[in-house]
Each structure stands twice: as structure tokens, then as C-alpha cells.
């Protein structure tokens, strides 16, 4: 039952008109009296102060202003003036709206709906995959003894140069490259870089071979979009994509030995939660623009949703060496150092809270010479106890260690080091040597 009731109950409708609730037409005495008063020139029954309180009390006023008559001619003039002003104002308003385009927008909104375009996250991912996936290849490596490894790689030069992981092609006697359109081409290993688990594979170029767009891994931020593309499910599922974010930067991992590769340590890696599985090895990690920011290399065996990729900036020097027909090699300065953090600073009472402290200790914890005799560092004048604060303008800290910056350059390159010694800073020029123990 409704809680609201009418003040009066209307009479019941006639039986002949069921369902009608139209009130009975009754003249209102007050309205008729007012109309007649106006018609015959009598005083209006409506108070002149319509929205104002009665100054003489709550009842009807008994002191009303005398009636003022208005000339019909004056009324006509006032009406004409008002209408002319209204028409003129309306015309000006229409012209202003027309000039500004507001009327066009209103018409568009009525016919086509809102014109606001919203770029969704899904469309960004789709566009990135569409750009990068044609450059991703599946690599099938066979050792001739019935053992087959399936991995991935990226085409970084249309002449048939491919970047992949060293552990994908180590020990292979035959390599088959499968393109996205299912063409199969033979490949050969050009060289290995055991320092970073990278390898270069060469195949015969074809006219329409797509080429990956390389990004800048030095500008990565934790939380930005990361997409892994590869063959995580083996031969039958090439060019699979997974989405995640950059979870962390500068990660170090130890990779145990397997049947073809010795145990190794990898430094300065990108950590991501984009799903990475064995067939992804050597494939790209791309950003929201479809640019390659890393080469996927390992997954965490004791956890889910944690994978690692080698920053693309670390791979660029050996990619350039291959294009130039040079042996794959890594730079070397010949110093032993510790990356300074707060704990190291406080323990050794160091002057700076960041940088690479040139320092070495024997088995008993006693300081010894940290610069190899005859090394590039020795020739450039680096001394034990120096703190290298930067390289080529990039600051050295726990997130950007000396080895991470050094690996971006090829042997033979002359670079500048910013060095702190005995309370003052200086710049040292050093020509990089070739790191021992790297084969190709």
C-alpha cells in the first residue's frame, strides 16, 4: 500500500468508463473571478508582491497601490522592441555558435555519438605483437645424435643475421630456421659469447626478410609493458606471445651446467613476469612500441612468473661485430673492484656512497694490488683504491654497475672514466682490451 494518499478522493468513475482517472471538469471560482475582474476593469485579486511577504501581516492586504493604466500604443511599442531585441540576440548567438563549430559538433554528436577516442591496453599489445612477430624465428638445432633443441631468435639484419641464445645452438651440427610464414632455411653458427649467453646465427638472406626494431634498454623502468614472443610449446606453436611487465632491473642469476654448457653467472638482467618457457630462449622481449628491449634467456626453476632477459644494449656490440665480419669479443680493463652500496661504505668508511671501488683482498682479508700489470687500466693510470664513479657520462651505482656499462662497448674503443681519488675527481681516457676466455 502506498504511503502517499491524495488530499481528496475523486468520485468513482462511471461503470461505463472503467480505467479512466480523468478528473471531472469543474470551473474554478477563483480563476473565473480573476478573469472577470480583468475583463471589466476591476482590481486584480492577485497581490502585486507575488514573491514578497505581506508587510501588513499574513492575511490579504487591505492597502493596495492605486491602479495605473497603460496606453495600448505604449504596450505595442514595448512588445515590438522586445521582439526585435530577442530576434537580434538569437541571430548573434547562432552566428557565434556556427563560427565556433559548436553546432556542427552537436549535429555530429546526435548522429554519430561521442567523438572521443580511447586507446585501450589491448590495442597497444596487439600493435606491438603485430610489429615484432614477423621478425621472430623458430630455431631447431640438432646435434646429429638425435638430440634436438627448439628455441627462438630475432632477425636483426635483412641479410640473414639472427641473434639468439648460446645455449640454443651450442653443439648443433644442423640448424633450421623457420620463419613466421613457415618457410624453412638452413643456418650456421657465426659465433658465441659465453659472457652473456648470446650467439649469432647466419642464414641466407631473402628479399622480403623482415628486420627487428631495436629499443633502448638503458631507459627501461620497472612496471612498463613487456611482451615475450617465441616458441614455448615447441615445434607446433611458433610465435606465441605472453604479456607482463618489467619486474626488476640489474638482476644476477647463476645458471647450472647442462649437457652442453658449463655453469655460468649472468649479470644485469631484466626480470619480467611475462611467461617464459624453454622454447622462448633467444626470442625477443619487446616494449609497447614493438621494439626489442631484451633477449629472453632463462626462467626461474623454483618459482612461477619469473623470467629473465639480456638487455638489448648488451647485445648490440656483438651484433655489430658480426655485421663487420669480426670475431665476437668483449671488452676488458683489468681491474678488480667492488660496487659500493651503503653497507660497503659504512664497513670500510669510504668517502662516497656509490661507484666501483678498485679493491682486492687475499684469503686472509688483507688488501692487495687490484690492477693487473700491463692491463688497459694499468696503462691508463688507474690505481688501487680509486673509485670509478662513471663511464662515458653514465653514473655507476648498484643498479648500473661497471660491468653492465662496460659490456656495451667493443674492444679497441676508447672511453672516458670519471675517477675519484684522494678527495678530488678526474677523467681518465682508456682504450679497452679484449676480455680473456670469450670464444667465437
> Model confidence over 201-211: pLDDT tens digits?
999 878 788 99
- Cα distance between residue 304 and residue 310, in whole Å: 19
Q: Is 197 part of the annotated catalytic residue set?
A: yes
Closest listed residue to residue 420, CA positions, set 399, 389, 394, 376:
389
CATH number of 331-434: 2.30.42.10
11/51: higher pLDDT: 11
- Lowest-pLDDT range of 82-91, 108-117, 420-429: 108-117
Q: Which of 281, 329, 359, 386 is catalytic?
A: 281
Phi/psi at 43 (nearest 5 deg)? -65, 140
pLDDT in the model for residue 90: 57
**What is the residue extent of each domain of the chain?**
134-203, 217-323, 331-434
Residue spans of beta strands (DSSP E) within 282-423: 284-286, 292-299, 307-311, 331-332, 337-339, 356-358, 387-391, 394-395, 414-421
Query: Mean pLDDT, the chain, as a whole number?
Result: 79
Class in CATH terms, 217-323:
mainly beta
> 217-323: same fold as 134-203?
yes
User: Which position among 193, 197, 273, 386 bears the catalytic label?
Assistant: 197
> What cell does 32 get?
473565473
Phi, psi of 2 (to 5 degrees): -70, 145
Give tens-digit pLDDT for 265-309. Answer: 888 899 999 998 889 999 999 999 999 999 999 887 777 789 999
The class that CATH gives domain 134-203 is: mainly beta
CB of 274 closer than 8 Å to CB of 228 = yes
Q: Which of 164, 235, 236, 239 is nearest to 203 (CA)?
A: 164
Catalytic-residue membership of 63? no
pLDDT digits (tens, 9 = 90+) for 163-177: 999 999 999 999 999
Q: Is 359 marked active-site?
A: no
| % of the chain with per-residue pLDDT over 70 | 70
Looking at per-residue pLDDT, the higher value among 126 and 109 belongs to: 126
End-to-end CA distance of the chain: 91
133, 152, 167, 313: the active-site residue: 167
Amino acid at each position: 500500500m502506498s504511503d502517499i494518499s491524495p488530499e481528496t478522493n475523486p468520485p468513482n468513475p462511471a461503470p461505463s468508463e472503467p480505467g479512466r482517472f480523468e478528473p471531472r471538469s469543474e470551473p474554478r471560482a477563483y480563476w473565473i473571478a480573476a478573469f472577470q475582474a480583468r475583463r471589466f476593469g476591476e482590481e486584480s485579486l492577485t497581490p502585486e508582491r507575488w514573491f514578497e511577504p505581506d508587510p501588513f501581516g499574513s492575511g490579504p492586504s487591505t492597502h493596495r497601490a492605486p491602479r495605473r493604466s497603460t496606453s495600448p500604443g505604449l504596450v505595442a511599442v514595448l512588445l515590438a522592441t522586445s521582439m526585435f531585441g530577442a530576434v537580434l540576440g538569437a541571430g548573434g548567438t547562432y552566428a557565434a555558435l556556427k563560427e565556433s563549430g559548436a553546432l556542427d559538433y552537436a549535429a555530429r554528436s546526435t548522429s554519430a555519438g561521442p567523438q572521443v577516442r580511447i586507446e585501450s591496453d589491448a590495442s597497444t599489445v596487439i600493435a606491438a605483437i603485430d610489429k615484432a612477430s614477423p621478425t621472430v624465428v623458430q630455431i631447431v638445432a640438432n646435434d646429429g645424435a638425435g638430440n634436438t633443441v627448439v628455441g627462438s631468435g630475432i632477425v636483426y639484419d635483412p641479410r640473414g643475421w639472427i641473434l639468439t641464445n648460446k645455449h640454443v645452438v651450442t653443439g648443433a651440427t644442423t640448424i633450421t630456421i623457420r620463419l613466421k610464414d613457415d618457410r624453412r632455411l638452413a643456418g650456421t653458427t657465426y659465433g658465441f659469447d659465453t659472457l652473456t649467453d648470446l650467439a649469432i646465427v647466419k642464414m641466407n638472406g631473402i628479399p622480403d626478410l623482415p628486420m627487428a626494431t631495436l629499443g633502448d634498454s638503458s631507459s627501461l623502468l620497472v612496471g612498463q609493458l613487456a611482451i615475450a614472443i617465441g616458441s614455448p610449446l615447441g615445434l607446433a606453436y611458433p610465435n606465441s606471445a605472453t604479456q607482463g611487465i618489467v619486474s626488476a632491473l640489474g638482476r644476477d642469476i647463476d645458471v647450472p651446467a647442462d649437457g652442453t654448457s658449463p655453469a655460468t653467472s649472468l649479470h644485469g638482467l631484466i626480470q619480467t613476469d611475462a611467461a617464459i618457457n624453454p622454447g622462448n630462449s633467444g626470442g625477443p622481449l619487446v616494449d609497447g612500441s614493438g621494439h626489442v628491449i631484451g633477449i629472453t634467456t632463462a626462467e626461474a626453476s623454483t618459482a612461477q612468473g619469473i623470467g629473465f632477459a639480456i638487455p638489448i644494449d648488451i647485445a648490440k656490440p656483438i651484433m655489430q661485430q658480426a655485421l663487420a665480419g669480426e670475431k665476437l669479443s668483449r671488452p676488458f680493463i683489468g681491474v678488480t673492484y667492488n660496487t659500493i652500496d651503503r653497507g660497503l661504505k659504512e664497513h670500510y668508511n669510504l668517502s662516497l656512497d656509490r661507484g666501483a671501488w678498485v679493491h682486492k683482498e687475499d684469503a686472509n682479508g688483507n688488501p692487495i694490488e687490484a690492477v693487473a700489470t700491463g692491463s688497459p687500466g694499468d696503462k691508463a693510470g688507474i690505481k688501487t683504491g680509486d673509485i670509478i664513479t662513471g663511464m662515458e657520462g653514465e653514473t655507476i651505482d648498484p643498479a648500473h654497475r661497471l660491468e653492465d656499462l662496460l659490456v656495451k662497448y667493443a674492444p679497441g674503443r676508447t672511453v672516458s672514466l670519471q675517477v675519484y681519488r684522494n678527495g678530488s675527481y678526474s677523467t681518465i681516457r682508456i682504450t679497452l682490451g679484449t676480455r680473456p676466455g670469450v670464444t667465437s
